[in-house]
Amino acid sequence: MAEAAISGAQSAGQGEDSFQVAGRRFTSRLIVGTGKYKDFDETAAAIEASGAEIVTVAVRRVNVSDPNQPMLMDYVDPKKITYLPNTAGCFTGQDAVRTLRLAREAGGWNLVKLEVLGDQKTLYPDMAETLTAAEMLLKDGFDVMVYCSDDPIMAKKLEDMGCCAIMPLAAPIGSGLGIQNPVNIRLIIEQSSVPVLVDAGVGTASDAAIAMELGCDGVLMNTAIAEAKDPIRMARAMKYAVRAGRDAYLAGRMPRKKYADPSSPLAGLI
Amino acid sequence: MQIILNGEPRDLDSALSVEGLLSHLGLEGRKVAVERNLEIVPHSAYDEVLLEEGDRIEIVHFVGGG
C-alpha cells in the first residue's frame, strides 16, 4: 500500500497516523494474539501495554463440564478491542469456513483472519486450500484478512478475489526467526492496494521495526510477546518498535554508501 | 435421550430446546455459538429448536489464540 501510505503521511509527525481495513480505521499498527499467556490477567495486561486495538482469538469448544471457568471475554472487552477470530488449527478450507461461521454467530461481526495450514511441522499455509476458503468466505459476506505465503503471485490472487488485508509470513509461525524474506515482503507491499501486514516470524522488537521499515501497514504477532521472559515489557517494546519502524519508513532512509562520509565539515580545520 | 455434546455422549432427562440446554449447562447469556448436526443454530432460534435423539451439538466460544 506504498502510495496511499505516503500520501496519508504527516510530514512532521503531526496528527495521528492510521490505517484502514475493511472500512474501519485503526491507529495502532500492531495486532497481537491472545494465546500462550500464563493467565487472562497477563493477556489483558500485555494487550494494554502493546496498545493494540485488534487481537486475534481462536474458536474452541466450551468446557461443558465446568462452564464457570473464566472466559477471555471477561478480561478483554470486545466492545473496546476488536476481536479478530482466526482459523488456527484448520487444515482444510471446509474446516476454516465452518469455524468462522461459528465465530460470526458467537461474536456478531464479519472481520476474520483466515489461515489454512498445510503441515504440522512448519505450519506453512496451504495456499490451494486458502484460496478455496477465501472464495467461500467472501461469497458469504466476510471481510477476510488472510495469512499467506510470501509469494507475490498468491498475494495478488487473494487481493483480486477481494481479501481486505494480505498477511504474509516473515518466518514460520512461532519461530521468532525474524524477517527472512525482505525481498518478497517488499514485492508484495509494492503491488498491493490493500493493507499488507507481516503475520508470523517476529522474534523481537527490531524484527517488528524492520517489517515496518519495509513499508508494511502493520505487524501481527503472538509468541514474541507471550514467550518473552517479561511479556508486558516486550508488549511495550513492540508498540514502540512498530511506531519507530513506521516513522523511519515515512521519513525515508538515507542512501547506503560504500565508504565513509564525515559528519563534521572539512572546511575551517585548524 | 442421548445427544453428543462437544464430542461426548450426554444423557438428557427430557426434550430440551437449545435455550434449555444452554441454561441447563449454565451458559445462558454467554457469547457462544451453537452448531447442531453441522448447521449453525442462530441466536434467534434458540428457543424454537428442539433437540432430538442422537443430535451432534457443538458449543464453541472465543479463547486465546494467535
* Per-residue pLDDT tens digits for A88-133: 999 999 999 999 999 999 998 899 999 999 999 999 999 999 999 9
| The model's pTM | 0.91
Residues 6+ apart with CB under 8 A from A147: A113, A114, A115, A125, A130, A167, A168, A169, A199, A200
- What value does the mean pLDDT take over residues A176-185? 98
Closest by Cβ to B63, choosing from A57, A173, A222: A57
How many helices (H) and strands (E) chain A has is answered by: 10, 10
Smallest CA-to-CA distance from B1 within B45, B59, B55, B58 is with: B55
Residues 6+ apart with CB under 8 A from A233: A49
pLDDT at residue A6, as a whole number: 45
Least confident segment among A12-16, A102-106, A235-239, B59-63: A12-16
B62: closest chain A residue by CA: A59
| pLDDT(A149) > 60 | yes
Q: Does B33 touch chain A (CB under 8 A)?
A: yes
Where in the sequence numbering do the catalytic residues of A fall? Answer: 113
| pLDDT(A210) > 50 | yes
Q: Does B4 touch chain A (CB under 8 A)?
A: no
pLDDT at residue B30, as a whole number: 85
Q: What ipTM was assigned to the predicted interfaces of this complex?
A: 0.96
State how far the Cα of A13 lies from the Cα of A23, in Å rounded to an integer: 24
A75, A100, A105: best to mutate for the B interface, most B CBs within 10 A = A105
pLDDT at residue A148, as a whole number: 98
C-alpha cell at B44: 434467534
How many helices (H) and strands (E) chain B has is answered by: 1, 5
pLDDT at residue A5, as a whole number: 46
Buried b / exposed e over A94-133, threshold 16 CB at 10 Å, is eebbbbbbbbbbbbeebbbbbbbbbeeeebebbbebbbbb
Reported as a pLDDT band with limits 50, 70 and 90, residue A209 is: very high
pLDDT at residue A13, as a whole number: 53
Q: Look at strands B8-11 and B33-36 and give their pairing.
A: unpaired
DSSP secondary-structure letter at A230? S
Give the tens place of pLDDT for each residue, A3-30.
444 444 445 555 689 999 999 999 999 9
**Whether B64 and A174 lie within 8 Å, measured CB to CB:** no
State how far the Cα of B66 lies from the Cα of B64, in Å rounded to an integer: 7
Closest by Cβ to B61, choosing from A34, A106, A173: A106
What is the percentage of chain A residues whose pLDDT exceeds 90? 89
Smallest CA-to-CA distance from B65 within A74, A173, A214 is with: A173
Please provide the average confidence, as pLDDT, over all residues in chain A: 93
- What value does the mean pLDDT take over residues A127-147? 97
Closest by Cβ to B65, choosing from A57, A61, A101: A57
